[in-house]
């Protein structure tokens, strides 16, 4: 595809989409805009965009595709302003916000002006922010939800998918309401809980001076998402308020039930509670990328001796397998530790798995 692609918000998501589009459509010109001038300049230096926007309106008016990748409330403000501009007749406007209903409602302002808007949410990311964290392959195999305003937009949806084909994502069309219901359960509510778990640890750190050091393993993993951008998550929480409040009521009811089980020392009740959770979780697809894909992890049971990490990374280096992260999750003093290695792609993880299967006798796990 050829034309001008105007990306607003050059963070993790805007930057990653810019890289993907540039690779897939080398003839396109990527113009980037960010309220933070230094972030915009960094994007240019890193080769993420072709041009820094000097003037939002004139760059929007020459665009064939506009991608709004700012925090949701800022995106809504841009939609209102875009509706007053003299845009190209066949321009496509999309966004990347983690909630869809309020954005799509706001886009009625564009539709009134006969401008095409298709809501979008690439469901891959991380707790990192900023253009420096952008990656060309961030969206590979991830779900990419599109929320067109009506069924007659199929030609435009196909055109948008072509622009975004370099993401190698799995496109799914949903209504904005359905999208917000699902993501509320699997993403937004868990973020609230993760942040509150971290809060609970902080509250108790004076009482237990060792707490911080000991929170390095599993606790860090289940609360990783609490390190995400506070601006982004405040926007998401407010814009999916109804869904979150409903989930919160149900959660409180559930917590009251568990409180009662503890008070009455109801062993069978607790066993049922944990069994039902385990049963449902164990049957969730593990070969699917999951709704939100962020990393491909390989877990390796390694003996706890100095040099084991360099042994493992040496094997990967020999096979030219790149890793994105490596961490010891837990070291049981006398026996084994679990090493978690993260990869950018499923393919890299598979290669790593087979490489270690061949060269070592360590137990390996992919889930
Ligand atoms: N971080 C993630 O894992 C994912 C985020 N999203 C959504 O994508 C959007 C962007 O998120 P990230 O890239 O992660 O955030 P980020 O914090 O990495 O980047 C956002 C960028 O937008 C800029 N910005 C803020 N206000 C602006 C404005 N009024 N005009 C232009 N630029 C502005 C910021 O300076 C920043 O550079 C959000 O709406 C978020 O809900 C969607 C999928 C995953
Ligand atoms: O890092 C993680 O696990 C995430 O949850 C990333 C993420 C954040 C927001 C989204 O809308 C989609 C994905």
pLDDT in tens, 130-169: 999 898 888 988 999 999 988 788 999 999 999 999 999 9
Within the chain, residue ranges assigned H as helices are 12-24, 37-45, 56-61, 72-82, 101-106, 108-111, 154-163, 176-183, 189-203, 211-214, 218-222, 230-239, 241-263, 267-282, 308-318, 346-359
pLDDT, tens only, 286-322: 656 666 666 678 888 887 677 888 999 999 999 999 8
| Range name among 29-43, 101-115, 279-293 with the lowest pLDDT average | 279-293
pLDDT score, position 289 = 60
Q: Is the CB of 81 under 6 A from ligand 1?
A: no
pLDDT score, position 100 = 98
Q: How far is CA 259 from CA 206, 254, 255, 279, in A?
A: 25, 9, 6, 22
CB 115 within 8 A of CB 93: yes
CB 21 within 8 A of CB 164: yes
pLDDT score, position 103 = 98
Task: Give the residue with greater pLDDT, 260 vs 346.
Answer: 260
pLDDT score, position 332 = 44
Q: Is the CB of 98 under 6 A from ligand 1?
A: yes
Q: Is the CB of 98 under 6 A from ligand 2?
A: yes
Q: If 0-12 CB within 10 Å is exposed, 13-18 middle and 19+ buried, where does residue 8 land? A: buried
CA atoms within 13 A on the CB side of 61: 9
pLDDT at 99 over 70: yes
pLDDT at 330 over 90: no
Around Cβ 175, how many Cβ atoms within 10 Å?
A: 15
CB 54 within 8 A of CB 82: no
The two three-digit tokens of residue 6, written as one number: 């105007």
What is the average pLDDT value for the chain, to the nearest integer? 91
Q: Do domains 4-174 and 296-365 have the same CATH topology?
A: no
Cα end-to-end span (Å), the chain: 38
Strand 51-52 versus strand 29-33 pairing type: parallel
Q: Is the CB of 130 under 6 A from ligand 1?
A: yes
- Ligand 1 atom having least distance to the Cα of 13: 13
Q: Is the CB of 122 under 6 A from ligand 1?
A: yes
Domain ranges of the chain: 4-174, 296-365
100 CB contacts (<8 Å, ≥6 apart)? 119, 121, 145, 147, 176, 179, 180
CB 62 within 8 A of CB 86: no
Task: Give the residue with greater pLDDT, 346 vs 288.
Answer: 346
Residue 356's nearest CA partner among 337, 341, 346, 334 is: 341
pLDDT at 125 over 90: no
| Range name among 78-82, 103-107, 108-112, 214-218 with the lowest pLDDT average | 214-218
Q: Is the CB of 123 under 6 A from ligand 2?
A: yes
The whole model's pTM is what? 0.85
Instruction: Write down the CATH superfamily of domain 296-365.
Output: VC0802-like (3.30.2130.10)
Nearest ligand to residue 18 Cα: 1
Residue 159's nearest CA partner among 131, 120, 201 is: 120
pLDDT at 37 over 90: yes
pLDDT at 214 over 80: yes
What is the 149 CA–ligand 2 centroid distance (Å)?
24
pLDDT at 329 over 80: no
d(CA 68, CA 13): 10
What number is the ipTM of this complex?
0.99
pLDDT at 18 over 70: yes
Q: State percent of the chain over pLDDT 70.
A: 94
Question: Of 10, 12, 80, which is best to mutate to test ligand 1, by the most ligand atoms within 8 angstroms of its C-beta?
Answer: 12
CA atoms within 13 A on the CB side of 154: 2
Q: State percent of the chain over pLDDT 90.
A: 72
Could you say which architecture CATH assigns to the domain 4-174? 3-Layer(aba) Sandwich (3.40)
b/e burial code for range 89-110 (CB count within 10 A of at least 16 → b) = eebbbbbbbbbbbbbbebbebb
pLDDT at 183 over 60: yes
Q: How far is CA 268 from CA 273, 299, 361, in A?
A: 9, 32, 40
pLDDT score, position 296 = 76
Task: Give the residue with greater pLDDT, 329 vs 342.
Answer: 342
């Amino acid at each position: 595809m050829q034309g001008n692609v105007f990306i607003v918000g050059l963070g993790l998501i805007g930057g990653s989409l810019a890289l993907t589009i540039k690779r897939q459509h080398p003839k396109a010109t990527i113009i980037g805009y960010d309220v933070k001038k230094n972030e915009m300049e960094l994007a240019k230096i890193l080769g993420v965009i072709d041009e820094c926007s000097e003037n939002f309106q004139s760059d929007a008016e020459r665009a064939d595709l506009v991608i709004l990748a700012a925090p949701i409330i800022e995106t809504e403000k841009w939609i209102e302003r875009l509706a007053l501009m003299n845009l190209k007749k066949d321009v496509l406007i999309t966004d990347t916000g983690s909630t869809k209903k309020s954005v799509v409602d706001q886009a009625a302002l564009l539709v009134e002006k006969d401008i095409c808007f298709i809501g979008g949410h690439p469901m891959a990311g991380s707790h990192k922010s900023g253009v420096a964290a952008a990656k060309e392959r961030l969206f590979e195999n991830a779900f990419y939800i599109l929320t067109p305003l009506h069924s007659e937009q199929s030609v435009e949806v196909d055109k948008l998918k072509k622009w975004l084909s370099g993401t190698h994502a799995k496109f799914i069309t949903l209504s904005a309401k359905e999208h917000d219901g699902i993501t509320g359960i699997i993403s937004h509510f868990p973020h609230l809980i993760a942040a509150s778990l971290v809060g609970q640890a902080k509250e108790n750190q004076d009482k237990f001076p060792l707490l911080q050091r000991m929170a390095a393993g599993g606790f860090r993993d289940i609360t990783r998402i609490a390190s995400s951008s506070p601006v982004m998550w405040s926007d998401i929480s407010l814009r999916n308020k109804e869904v979150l409040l409903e989930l919160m009521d149900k959660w409180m009811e559930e917590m009251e039930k568990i409180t009662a089980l503890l008070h009455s020392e109801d062993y069978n009740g607790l066993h049922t509670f944990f069994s039902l959770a385990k049963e449902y979780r164990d049957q969730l697809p593990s070969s699917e990328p999951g709704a939100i894909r962020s990393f491909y992890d390989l877990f390796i049971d390694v003996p706890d001796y100095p040099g084991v990490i360099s042994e493992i990374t040496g094997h990967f280096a020999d096979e030219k397998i790149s890793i994105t992260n490596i961490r010891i999750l837990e070291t049981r003093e006398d026996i084994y530790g679990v090493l978690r290695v993260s990869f950018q792609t499923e393919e890299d993880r598979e290669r790593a798995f087979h490489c270690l299967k061949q060269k070592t006798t360590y137990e390996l796990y992919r889930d």
